Amino acid sequence: MSFIRTLALTILLGLLLQLVLPWWGIALAGAIAGAIGTRNLLSAFLAGLLGAALLWGGYAAYLNDLNQGLLAEKMGILLKGVGANGMLILTAIVGGIYGGLGALLGCWARRLLRPGKA
Amino acid sequence: MRYALFILTLILAVILVIAGHRNHPFGSALPPLGKLLDPFGGFWQNAEPASAPKSQVIDLPGIKEKVEVVFDERLVPHIFAANHYDACYAQGYITAKYRLWQMDFITRAAAGRLSEVVGEKTLERDRLQRRKGMTLAAERTLKAWSDNSEEMPFIEAYTAGVNDYIASLKPADYPLEFKLLDYAPEPWSTFKTALAAKSMAETLCFRNDDLQSTNVLRMLGDSLYNDLFPDYPPGQTPVIPADTPWPFTPVTPHQTAPAPPPYGDLIRFALPNPPPFIGSNNWAVAGKKTTTGHPILCNDPHLGLSLPSIWYEIHMNTSECNVYGVSFPGTPGILIGFNDYIAWGETNVSHDVLDWYTLTWVDEAKTEYLLDGKPRKVEYRIEEIKVKGRQAPLLDTIKFTAWGPVVYPDPASPYHDMAMHWLSVDMPENQDFHEVGVFHRLMCGHNYEDYYQALSGLSSPAQNFVFASSQGDIAMTVNGKFPIKADQQGRFLQQGDQSANGWQGFIPYEQIPRVKNPAQGYVASANQHSVAPDYPYYYNGGFDMYRGRLINRLLSENKKFSPSDMMAMQNNTYSIQAEEGLPALMSALDTSSLTPIQKDMWNDLRGWNFYFDKNKKTPAVFYRWLTRSYKDTFDEWYTSPDSNYLDYPDMWRFVALLKDSPTHTLFDQAATGKREQARDIVTQAFQAISAELADVYHDDAFDWRSEKAVRIGHLAGIDAFSQLNVDIGGHSDAINAVKKSFGPSWRMVVSLGPEVKAWGVYPGGQSGNPGSPYYDSMVGQWAQGNYNELLFVKSADALREHEQFRITFQ
């Protein structure tokens, strides 16, 4: 359950933090979720990665749908021809990496600071 | 150990965050990926919903009364304001909302400030802008506007509107290009509006070839030079009809033609020039020659085809006037348009208003130069150029003489010590109004008298202003400040040690070329010569040979023209260059031993009607053949190591040589032992192009459209945001003057009378955002030659069927 909890926390905190912080708010959201969620490093990383990827990819997909794919198509050409869908996948991956790294570091920091409870 | 690994991971994370935040992180070609892809703040935020936005009410403390802006189906704003001040305020806000990055980019490019956001790549370009005096010109213009000019309140209102919009932006809302180049919008200013005006002047009247002409004069000698570069081409139909009288006593220039200074060698120096004949068509037909019984006015200015488009379509309705047309982002008002009473439009005059002078230095440090025998000190202006990635800005010291800046700084060149005098840098005269005021007066004009008064405020860039009124008048004015010159003055490099070599004042406003209601029943201009040779003032410049003649030919037909005839005319691809050039080429061709493919080409060319239609092959063959023959004839130019520093004869002159002097020595090629004539050159060129085209000629894919590959390029050169290979025909010397990246940037037809009706289209769209469906929504329509009926209404209620949404400012 703590995997799901960490994942949900990443999404929820990400949503809140990104309203006030620049883009790296997603890494911070992962870090906080990792620090108060699962105690397993791998599970924290994966939960942060998946949560952030869902948040970035999902929101981008929503905006893309309203835009009928117009801009993603052009940005896909600009970024080495990855295509419109490629832009969505790239967005999810990049968001996921920052969220996942954040969660890993958050979880890890807590384990280092409070080793007794590991 | 556990800590070390953690810290390592933390460092990796920090590096990744920095990489995701910076443009070109660690020297790579990557954009700031984290920042750019973030759907909450990055490019996804510029992916505009395809559905119509919701109406908004916005509080702007700066406006005086409530303003309603109704957006129609094409996103054209219809501004309903109580007064002109508020209308300009709203125009600033709305234009920034749709075109902010374009406004920033144009003014940065003009001021030489691109390197601030681009880096080293644009540094030399920026330096050159400063050295040409662009920032000084804008400072002087702003000074003139600020000294009691009537347009200043409108410029200030517009500026406040732009700045209110910028202040409302969060980083997530920045236009896409700011995010890609990773910088933030800075506040607008009245100075930036002055820069926008100077950028237009640079495009339209910077072109000069004094040095190139001087070189060719040296190369050819007087007699051959005058033969190849005559003052006035035979057969031209000038902007002002040839039988127009000049009922005035001209101001006589006090001096005759100055000889070019004694330079024995070529001048290996040339500034990047705007393209030749950057131009346009406009005409007005009187009611006696129209199906409506009232005047019809047409204008299609040809400029660089770009996205975002150069024009922003707008309708402004105030208690003072109801006016519709196109505006230039960065400038308040409407530049080409119409109201309930009059319509107006412009083409470029292209007189030479930029002259070069040699300098005679007094001292080795070049701090003083001789003028009329007395030493004069240079003045210094220090330009500070910020460069992205550099700690300290570059400081460039520019020397200014009485003539103007010493542009070229490289002491390694023996020819760098020359000063440039360009009309657009001169301190404007003290007047009640200037360029922005000219258009505000036209916007609210009622009749010819208002038009006459309005035009008196314009100094540069000079334009052929066409005019028509619902009262039934038509008129044309070759309008601007024109230096009084002695015969031939300003064609070549001049000696800067005598003040007598300067301009001898300006032609008085009453004496500039103009015509009102000529007997022929129409007026027309297409960048050709302004007047017949009997006009009592000398001028030189670069003039189109073909479009004006065709327009005159078509309009002089004995028929009545309808608005749709006028639209067809604006899209006409017929070429007099082909009509005259092809027979000249064909009669010079040796047809005794044509190969099968050459026979096919020959037969196709024989059947050609001289229309540059997109789906024909013949225009491509003709144009290749003509240009190849031209280049082989003027091989002395093209094979010269100094080919970049030479002036080239006009194409019409080449065609005349083919026809009239086929044995001219110019046709002889230096590299061969043989003595060539026109016949040899033309035949050899035909063989060469038929070899080039042998493999593709019978392909369906090969046609004029594919040959020309018209490109409407993004302003920063981003292909993904450009329209490539546009499906359109036309030719630079056809009325539909579509070139590879230049062409009709706005086509407008206005039918005057008790009820004014108008049609228009431009190759772009109302939004500057590549993520908007309105970014390039009119390109297809423009290429097809279709028009929009312009919604010229008197009240917001009349737009009910067309309203998408509205913004209320209060």
Does B120 reside within a domain? no
**Which of B274-288, B505-519, B536-550 comes out lowest in average pLDDT?**
B274-288
Separation in Å, CA of A5 to nearest CA in chain B:
23
Q: Does the pLDDT value for residue A45 go beyond 90? A: yes
User: Is there a single domain that holds both residue B490 and residue B616?
Assistant: no
CB contact under 8 A, A59 and B34: no
Single residue among B545, B570, B595 that ends a domain in this structure: B570
Of all residues in chain B, what percent carry a pLDDT higher than 90? 82
Does B494 reside within a domain? yes
B517, B284 in Cβ contact below 8 A?
A: no
User: Is there a single domain that holds both residue B623 and residue B560?
Assistant: no
The pair phi, psi for residue B351, each rounded to 5°, is -70, 155
Separation in Å, CA of A15 to nearest CA in chain B:
9
Q: How confident is the model at residue B63 (pLDDT cuts 50, 70, 90)?
A: very high
Q: How confident is the model at residue A118 (pLDDT cuts 50, 70, 90)?
A: very low
Largest CA distance in chain B: 99
List strand residue ranges (DSSP E) for B76-191, in order: 77-80
Secondary structure of B445-483 in HEC code, one letter for each residue: CCCHHHHHHHHCCCCCCCEEEEEEECCCCEEEEEECCCE
What pLDDT digit, counting tens, does each position of B174-204 carry?
A: 999 999 999 999 999 999 999 999 999 998 8
Kindly calculate the radius of gyration of chain B based on its CA atoms and give it in whole angstroms: 28
Q: Which domain holds residue B8?
A: 1-37
Distance, CA of B634 to chain centre: 28
**Which of B138-142, B341-345, B665-669 comes out lowest in average pLDDT?**
B665-669
B487, B538 in Cβ contact below 8 A?
A: yes
Say whether residue B29 is in contact with chain A using an 8 A CB cutoff: no
- In 3D space, the residue among B310, B302, B306 whose CA is nearest the CA of residue B275 turns out to be B302
**Which of B98-112, B245-259, B486-500, B689-703 comes out lowest in average pLDDT?**
B245-259
What pLDDT digit, counting tens, does each position of A59-116 carry?
A: 999 999 999 999 999 999 998 888 999 999 999 999 999 999 999 999 999 988 887 6
CA distance B656 to B661: 8
Q: What DSSP designation does B802 have?
A: T
Is the four-CA dihedral A17, A22, A26, A29 of positive or negative sign?
negative
| Average pLDDT of the segment spanning B101-124 | 95
Look-up of token digits 């100077």: B198
Per the omega criterion (within 30 degrees of 0), is the bond before B308 cis? yes
Q: Does the pLDDT value for residue B264 go beyond 60? A: no
Nearest residue of A to residue B721 by CA position?
Answer: A74
Write out chain A residues lying below 8 Å of B2, CB-based: 112
User: Is there a single domain that holds both residue B324 and residue B451?
Assistant: yes
Of all residues in chain A, what percent carry a pLDDT higher than 90? 78
| Average pLDDT of the segment spanning B593-601 | 94
Nearest residue of B to residue A73 by CA position?
Answer: B720
CA distances from B68 to B55, B89, B312, B612 (A): 11, 12, 18, 45
Does B50 reside within a domain? no
Per the omega criterion (within 30 degrees of 0), is the bond before B641 cis? no
We report the CATH number of the domain holding residue B640 as 1.10.1400.10
User: Is there a single domain that holds both residue B320 and residue B469?
Assistant: yes
CA distance B107 to B99: 13
Q: How confident is the model at residue B414 (pLDDT cuts 50, 70, 90)?
A: very low
Say whether residue B57 is in contact with chain A using an 8 A CB cutoff: no
What pLDDT digit, counting tens, does each position of B760-795 carry?
A: 999 999 999 999 999 999 999 999 999 999 999 999
Q: What DSSP designation does B701 have?
A: T
CB contact under 8 A, B16 and A97: yes
Amino acid code (one letter) for B582: L
Nearest residue of A to residue B10 by CA position?
Answer: A105
User: Is there a single domain that holds both residue B539 and residue B664?
Assistant: no
Does B22 reside within a domain? yes
CB contact under 8 A, A19 and B39: no
Q: How confident is the model at residue B319 (pLDDT cuts 50, 70, 90)?
A: very high
Write out chain A residues lying below 8 Å of B771, CB-based: 67, 70-71, 74
Specify the higher pLDDT residue, B99 or A3. B99
Does B725 reside within a domain? no
**Which of B58-72, B402-416, B739-753 comes out lowest in average pLDDT?**
B402-416
| Average pLDDT of the segment spanning B288-303 | 97
Single residue among B570, B601, B617 that ends a domain in this structure: B570
Separation in Å, CA of B780 to nearest CA in chain A:
17
CA distances from A106 to A114, B106, B236, B301, B683 (A): 12, 47, 80, 62, 80
User: Is there a single domain that holds both residue B606 and residue B473?
Assistant: no
Write out chain B residues lying below 8 Å of A108, CB-based: 6, 9
Task: Write down the pLDDT at residue B274.
Answer: 61
Separation in Å, CA of B51 to nearest CA in chain A:
8
Nearest residue of B to residue A100 by CA position?
Answer: B13
CB contact under 8 A, B40 and A19: yes
For A60, the closest of B2, B21, B39 (CB atoms) is: B39
CB contact under 8 A, B49 and A67: yes
Q: What DSSP designation does A93 have?
A: H
Joined together, the tokens standing for residue B459 give: 């100094």
* Interface test with chain B among A17, A54, A63, A107, by most B beta carbons within 10 Å: A63
Task: Write down the pLDDT at residue B209.
Answer: 87
CB contact under 8 A, B38 and A26: yes
Joined together, the tokens standing for residue B344 give: 């107006």
User: Is there a single domain that holds both residue B296 and residue B445?
Assistant: yes
User: Is there a single domain that holds both residue B511 and residue B633?
Assistant: no
User: Is there a single domain that holds both residue B559 and residue B582?
Assistant: no
User: Is there a single domain that holds both residue B325 and residue B442?
Assistant: yes
Q: How confident is the model at residue A51 (pLDDT cuts 50, 70, 90)?
A: very high
| Average pLDDT of the segment spanning B568-581 | 97
CA distances from B282 to B90, B300, B345, B780 (A): 30, 6, 7, 23
Mean pLDDT, chain B, whole residue set = 93
Task: Write down the pLDDT at residue B613.
Answer: 96
Separation in Å, CA of B182 to nearest CA in chain A:
14
CA distance B213 to B219: 10
- In 3D space, the residue among B175, B173, B39 whose CA is nearest the CA of residue A26 turns out to be B39
Q: Write the DSSP assignment of A34-65 as a string of letters.
A: HHHS-S-HHHHHHHHHHHHHHHHHHHHHHHHH
CA distance B163 to B40: 24
Separation in Å, CA of B781 to nearest CA in chain A:
19
Q: What is the predicted ipTM? A: 0.96
Number of domains in chain B: 3
Separation in Å, CA of B801 to nearest CA in chain A:
24
Say whether residue B24 is in contact with chain A using an 8 A CB cutoff: no
Between helices B596-606 and B678-693, what is the axis angle to 10°? Answer: 110
Q: Does the pLDDT value for residue B269 go beyond 70? A: no
| Average pLDDT of the segment spanning B634-661 | 92
CB contact under 8 A, B13 and A74: no
B59, A41 in Cβ contact below 8 A?
A: no
CA distance B522 to B552: 9
Does B657 reside within a domain? yes
User: Is there a single domain that holds both residue B591 and residue B655?
Assistant: yes
Q: How confident is the model at residue B415 (pLDDT cuts 50, 70, 90)?
A: low
Does B483 reside within a domain? yes
CB contact under 8 A, B33 and A104: no
* Interface test with chain B among A41, A49, A64, A75, by most B beta carbons within 10 Å: A75
Say whether residue B182 is in contact with chain A using an 8 A CB cutoff: no
Q: Does the pLDDT value for residue B391 go beyond 70? A: yes
CA distance A64 to B50: 10
Q: Which residues contact B527 (CB under 8 A, 6 or more apart)?
A: B277, B279, B280, B347, B348, B349, B350, B464, B543, B544, B547, B548
Separation in Å, CA of B722 to nearest CA in chain A:
9
What pLDDT digit, counting tens, does each position of B334-346 carry?
A: 999 999 999 999 9
Write out chain B residues lying below 8 Å of A18, CB-based: 38, 40-41
Number of Cβ within 10 Å of residue B112's Cβ equals 24
For B6, the closest of A56, A102, A112 (CB atoms) is: A112
Strands B368-371 and B374-377: antiparallel
Number of Cβ within 10 Å of residue B657's Cβ equals 20
Single residue among B650, B678, B707 that ends a domain in this structure: B707
CB contact under 8 A, A101 and B718: no
- In 3D space, the residue among B263, B268, B141, B239 whose CA is nearest the CA of residue B199 turns out to be B141
Joined together, the tokens standing for residue B441 give: 């007066």
CB contact under 8 A, A24 and B17: yes
What pLDDT digit, counting tens, does each position of B705-758 carry?
A: 999 999 999 999 999 999 999 999 999 999 999 999 999 999 999 999 999 999
Joined together, the tokens standing for residue B702 give: 């090969």
CA distances from B23 to B474, B552, B596, B631 (A): 55, 54, 57, 45
Q: Does the pLDDT value for residue B622 go beyond 50? A: yes
User: Is there a single domain that holds both residue B244 and residue B321?
Assistant: yes
CA distance B501 to B495: 7
Does B644 reside within a domain? yes
We report the CATH number of the domain holding residue B559 as 3.60.20.10
| Average pLDDT of the segment spanning B570-595 | 96
